[in-house]
A and B are shown apart, each in its own frame.
Chain A
Amino acid sequence: MKRLLLGTALALGLAGMASAEGYKIGISNTVQGNGWREEMVCAMKAEALASGKVESLNIAHRNTDAAGQLEDIRNLIQAGVNAIVVNPANADGVNAAIKEATDAGIVVVAVDQAVTEPSAYILSNNQEEYAYIGAKWLFEQMGGKGAVVYMRGAAGAGADNDRDKGFKRAMAEFPEITIAQEVFTGWQQDQGKQQINDIIAAGVPFQGIWTSGIDNVIVDAMVESGAPMVPIVGADNAGFVGQLSSVEGLQGAAVTNPGSVGGAGVALAIQILDGKAPAEKTVLVNPELWDNVSEEGKAKLAAAANPNLSPEWPVSVSIPGWTTYTMDQIIACKGPGE
């Protein structure tokens, strides 16, 4: 009898410990209202819910700069979270707060873009490679010569700078490729469409378009203007992926840049909290290129297309080996306790 009681007490105690294990995870993101970032936040919520190990999420998600992100991270430290998953506003600017967090024993994972603070873990899309493989494919399609419209992201953003490095690396390999026009779309759909309309109207000759993810509106503009179609490179946004198989005469390629890297970041944070820290502090997710010219690319595009997604969302909604949520969970965009 005594042993039974003891056993029960032990079991109850263990059960109590197991339920008390629920982690509190903080999230900091500085771009709001952008499809990619919204998918990232939804992936974070879905992963936290699917893991079953997260008790609550504290989400600081607003439009701000590095100084504002310092504030958000410090507020999350005050909130007593166990881990912080952050999409850094830039590589150096939030180091001070990250150091304060790790000194306080909080696990910090930077997703999407890297930080230079050595105590943080980094799980990032390889942005330089993203631009390089897309540009290389585009220049090959153009036959190695001609002028390209270079539609970048936001001036001054870290990811835009990394992509510029990759783009320039590809340019160096194709000496006969020139830049017809270089513009910053600010990763804004309306701005990008206005810019391509201006370029078409101005009669600037070009043989290809490289975009930093503002892609479906560029295809729209080309179709609407009746201009001869040229090869276009974009990201794996649902709208553009759909166009690659539906718009007649369009040769293009989607380069993957999964917003679900946010979910992978939450998964990594949970692993570390569980005591299973990875050997390397930096994990790079390499992009893939899906074109609608090769059979292999077509198959990947067809498999990835999903009409249930918002056109601004990347279609790669999960990262194999990292995320564990279902398609329905990420579309529902609900975290623990919601």
Chain B
Amino acid sequence: MRRWIEANTWTLGLAVLLAVLLLATKLIQPGFGASGLDSLARAALPFALATVGMAIVVIAGGIDLSIAAMMAVASVTGAVLMDGASDGQSLLIVVGVLLLGLLMGAVNGALIVLSRVPDIVVTLAMLFVWQGVALLILNAPGGGAAPWLRAMVAGGLLGMDWLPRGIVFLAVVTAAIWLPIRRSRLGLRLYAIGSDPLAAFRSGVPVGQTRIIAYALCGLFAALGGLSVTMGTGIGEPIPGPYLLASVAAVVLGGVVLGGGRGGLLGPILAVFILRTVRMDLTLLSVDPNVAAIVEGTIMVAVVMFGAVVATRGRKP
């Protein structure tokens, strides 16, 4: 038990911080309840899915700057095809969009592995490529989303009204994809190539192949994120949203080391909810919007610095 707590101090700390923030929200706005939690969950969903995708690549020692653009491609593809489609058809479309995400991510990964150009350069270039693709598919916001898909993230769970469906959706999807991988050899390999690619190579890990898989998984979660934007808005948006920097920030705040090899997914997800709650509180307090951005950034830096201090203190004895 003690070992488990020690290994997960950072995540536990984030959970406590989130609880404190939610309590503060309740103090600021006594009416804050199920509907507030629901809107928080819906706001966090695309950010959380993007963050999970980013976290996987970062754990594997990379970074994907094209994540928001891939989300846009997935969002417009889904919205264009689903416009006027039947329920059965839209289920197929969702599967197709997820495969498209895997493919886009795999293209990113393959380009990095084959060209040996640094990941930051390749994915920066691909950011523009995917942005163009999204605009080619749909040059202005439009399309539609199947009602059953939109209902998946709206409101509370049947029988448990306080539990937003958005959170259930996020938990189910992430666990279904990540847990089997994490427990398998592939999970170990992802951490290994992030921690030390040379050592991993010498231990017989197929580094290139694992890297491509990491990017493909990132693409898959980007597609989920893009679909969640469409689920929320009911349309496809060709212009990428603010998900790139937000996901990197949440990954760092969530305790994933930017060099790779260390961290989990729960921390980054908690970090997303913390950042969304801060944004909500700033709106509730009607803080000057220009100041609000500064406050958000300052909180991020302060928490990460505080964490670094705690980590070095903890290592001494």
List B contacts of A154 (CB < 8 A). Answer: 239
B32 touches A78 (CB 8 A): yes
Partner of B234, one of A78, A93, A155, A156: A93
The segment from A2-10, A58-66, A169-177, A260-268 that touches chain B is: A58-66
**Taking beta carbons and an 8 Å cutoff, which residues of B are in contact with A?**
29, 31-32, 35-36, 39, 42-43, 46, 135, 138-142, 150, 154, 229, 232-235, 237-242, 276, 279-280, 283-284, 286, 288-290, 292-293
B234 touches A65 (CB 8 A): no
A71 touches B140 (CB 8 A): no
List A contacts of B139 (CB < 8 A). Answer: 155-156
A189 close to chain B: CB less than 8 A: no
Partner of B286, one of A57, A67, A78, A92: A57
List A contacts of B279 (CB < 8 A). Answer: 71, 75
List A contacts of B229 (CB < 8 A). Answer: 65-67
A63 to B241, CA, bound (A): 9
Between A and B, 21 residue pairs with Cβ closer than 8 Å are: A65-B239, A65-B241, A67-B237, A68-B43, A68-B242, A70-B43, A71-B42, A71-B279, A75-B279, A75-B284, A77-B39, A78-B284, A90-B235, A91-B141, A92-B233, A92-B234, A92-B235, A96-B150, A155-B140, A158-B141, A161-B140
A105 close to chain B: CB less than 8 A: no
B141 touches A90 (CB 8 A): yes
List B contacts of A57 (CB < 8 A). Answer: 286
A94 touches B39 (CB 8 A): no
Give the distance to chain B from A152, nearest Cβ to Cβ, in Å: 11
Partner of A155, one of B135, B150, B233, B241: B135
A92 to B145, CA, bound (A): 12
B238 touches A155 (CB 8 A): yes
A78 touches B292 (CB 8 A): no
* Chain A window 77-95, contacts with chain B (Cβ cutoff 8 Å), 1 for yes, 0 for no: 1111000000001111111
Would you list the 6 A-B pairs with minimal beta carbon distance, nearest first?
A71-B43, A74-B39, A65-B241, A93-B233, A61-B289, A75-B283
Give the distance to chain A from B74, nearest Cβ to Cβ, in Å: 13
A32 close to chain B: CB less than 8 A: yes
Interface size class of A (residues with CB under 8 A): 35 or more
A56 close to chain B: CB less than 8 A: yes
**Secondary structure call for the A interface:** mixed
Give the distance to chain A from B239, nearest Cβ to Cβ, in Å: 5
List A contacts of B238 (CB < 8 A). Answer: 155-156
Give the distance to chain B from A90, nearest Cβ to Cβ, in Å: 4
Give the distance to chain A from B125, nearest Cβ to Cβ, in Å: 19
A157 close to chain B: CB less than 8 A: yes
List A contacts of B242 (CB < 8 A). Answer: 63-65, 68
A107 close to chain B: CB less than 8 A: no
B234 touches A58 (CB 8 A): no
- Known A79-B283, A94-B233, A156-B138; 12 more pairs at CB < 8 Å: A59-B288, A60-B289, A61-B289, A65-B240, A70-B232, A72-B283, A74-B39, A90-B237, A92-B233, A92-B235, A93-B234, A157-B140
Q: Assuming A78-B29, A78-B32, is B241 touching A64 (CB within 8 A)?
A: yes
A76 close to chain B: CB less than 8 A: yes
A161 to B237, CA, bound (A): 14
A59 to B142, CA, bound (A): 27
List A contacts of B43 (CB < 8 A). Answer: 67-68, 70-71, 74
B289 touches A62 (CB 8 A): yes
B233 touches A70 (CB 8 A): yes
A168 to B131, CA, bound (A): 25
List B contacts of A68 (CB < 8 A). Answer: 43, 241-242
List B contacts of A89 (CB < 8 A). Answer: 141
User: B31, B138, B141, B292: which has the most chain A beta carbons within 10 Å?
Assistant: B141
A96 touches B233 (CB 8 A): yes
Partner of B140, one of A61, A76, A156: A156
A79 to B139, CA, bound (A): 35
List B contacts of A58 (CB < 8 A). Answer: 283-284, 286
Give the distance to chain B from A324, nearest Cβ to Cβ, in Å: 23
B39 touches A71 (CB 8 A): yes
User: B46, B154, B232, B233: which has the most chain A beta carbons within 10 Å?
Assistant: B233
Partner of B276, one of A63, A71, A156, A158: A71
A157 to B238, CA, bound (A): 9
A67 touches B39 (CB 8 A): no
Q: Assuming A78-B29, A161-B140, is B35 touching A65 (CB within 8 A)?
A: no
A332 to B220, CA, bound (A): 49
Give the distance to chain B from A270, nearest Cβ to Cβ, in Å: 18
A155 touches B46 (CB 8 A): no
List B contacts of A78 (CB < 8 A). Answer: 29, 31-32, 35-36, 39, 280, 283-284
List B contacts of A71 (CB < 8 A). Answer: 39, 42-43, 276, 279-280
List B contacts of A90 (CB < 8 A). Answer: 140-141, 235, 237
A58 to B286, CA, bound (A): 5
A78 to B280, CA, bound (A): 9
Q: Assuming A56-B286, A92-B233, is B29 touching A67 (CB within 8 A)?
A: no
